[in-house]
Amino acid sequence: MQASRRNARTFARLIAAASSIAVIHNAAAGESYPVKPVRVIAAFSPGGYVDFTARLVSGPLGAALGQQFIVENRAGAGGIVGTEAVARAAPDGYTLVVGSVGTHAVNQSLYPKLPYHVLRDFQPIARVSDAPSILAVHPSLPARSVKELIAVARGRPGQINYASAGAGTSTHLAAVLFEHMGRVKLVHVPYKGGGPALIAVVAGEVPVTFGTAASVSPHTKSGRLRALAVTSGQRSAVLPDVPTIAEAGLPGYEMLNWLGLFAPAGTPRVLVDRLAGEAMRVVRQPDVVSRFHAQASEPSPLATDEFSAFVKKEVEKWAKVVASTGMTAE
């Protein structure tokens, strides 16, 4: 009996010692991280909002942590190609992805065969920015407000076209949510990117778009397009005179183009916390804020736990929208 007790005490001491060693090891790893360059995947083509944000944040993040943060564009399948690559990467803090509302919320329900699971395969680090889209129409369309557009669409069901950057993009999803909440039927005209979609609307080939603020606002200022509202829940600081869709006719409407840093699931929390702390500081730097504003976007930092809860709510929100509208993508 005494031998059994001694063995039990010895085993307990070994467990405690192992736990202490693990804590010390993790703390040391957090202090020394990173010891080599970090890859930051932008799962879309160069020049867009995701690429811009990845590069804007990666430079000062690398400077703060003493290593290069190298942005790698891995576009394809609406962001799925690059995002899946990170889901399958080693959870060691050296491969990150700038995730979006599309890749890390909507796609979970939109694609029946999505090769990753947002909540299972990723560790949210921090939200870094968001940007509204602008509901804009060609001047030839007789609608000068959200309520007038809804009235026109209800009077001509299935006859009003809208241009998007492709199925599953923010420009598509904002319109789907608008149709759902406004009880109207518009016709989706997908293009191969935001540039071609915007050109079509400016030319009057398609009368409506929910384009990104950075791309649409120059045309609304010049009068070539008419801005009706922004898709965010609150008015944009960079577009203060443009009402939100919620206040202009559809209470509760909100479609936010948010971006955040994600790591593969299983990445040690000590590394996640270090990345999150530095990312939160970076996006608050005055020069970074001014560059966000120049692109009609805003810093919107959320720490790890708050960001994780936010992502879960976004997945649930868009699952309901996808289910109620019957949207699907292969």
Give me the tens of pLDDT residue by residue for the chain, a chain 330 residues long: 555 555 555 554 555 444 434 334 444 555 799 999 999 999 988 888 899 999 999 999 999 999 999 999 998 887 899 999 999 999 999 999 999 998 999 999 988 999 999 999 999 999 999 988 999 999 999 999 999 999 999 999 999 999 998 777 788 889 999 999 999 999 999 887 788 999 999 999 999 999 988 889 899 989 999 999 999 998 887 778 999 999 999 999 999 889 999 999 999 999 999 999 999 999 999 999 999 998 888 999 999 999 999 999 999 999 988 888 777 776
Is residue 285 included in any domain, yes or no?
yes
Residue of 226, 259, 258 whose CA lies nearest to 243:
226
Q: Are residues 179 and 284 in the same domain?
A: no
Out of 248, 278, 293, pick the residue that ends a domain: 248
Q: Are residues 179 and 321 in the same domain?
A: no
Structure tokens at 75: 């576009």
Is residue 16 included in any domain, yes or no?
no
Amino acid symbol at 202? V
Structure tokens at 285: 């730097």
Out of 220, 248, 276, pick the residue that ends a domain: 248
Which residues, in sequence order, are CB contacts of 59 under 8 Å at separation 6+?
Answer: 69
Backbone angles phi, psi at 235, to 5 degrees: -60, 145
Answer yes or no: are the C-beta atoms of 53 and 297 closer than 8 Å: yes
Partners of 161 in the β-ladder = 187
pTM equals 0.82
Q: What is the number of structural domains in the chain?
A: 2
Q: Are residues 162 and 223 in the same domain?
A: yes
CA–CA gap between residue 241 and residue 98 (Å, rounded): 30
Q: Are residues 39 and 112 in the same domain?
A: yes
Structure tokens at 67: 């290593």
Is residue 185 included in any domain, yes or no?
yes
Q: Are residues 191 and 294 in the same domain?
A: no
Q: Are residues 142 and 235 in the same domain?
A: yes
Which residues, in sequence order, are CB contacts of 308 under 8 Å at separation 6+?
Answer: 124
Residue in the block written with tokens 């995947």: 41
3-state secondary structure 189-206: EECCCHHHHHHHHHCCCC
Peptide bond into 34 cis (omega under 30): yes
Answer yes or no: are the C-beta atoms of 93 and 33 closer than 8 Å: yes
Is residue 1 included in any domain, yes or no?
no
Domain range spanning residue 303?
Answer: 30-130+258-325
CA–CA gap between residue 224 and residue 139 (Å, rounded): 7
Which residues, in sequence order, are CB contacts of 312 under 8 Å at separation 6+?
Answer: 119
Q: Are residues 85 and 190 in the same domain?
A: no
Please report, for the domain that includes residue 194, its CATH number. 3.40.190.10
Residue of 308, 306, 288, 312 whose CA lies nearest to 298:
288
Please report, for the domain that includes residue 276, its CATH number. 3.40.190.150
Is residue 34 included in any domain, yes or no?
yes
Answer yes or no: are the C-beta atoms of 279 and 300 closer than 8 Å: no
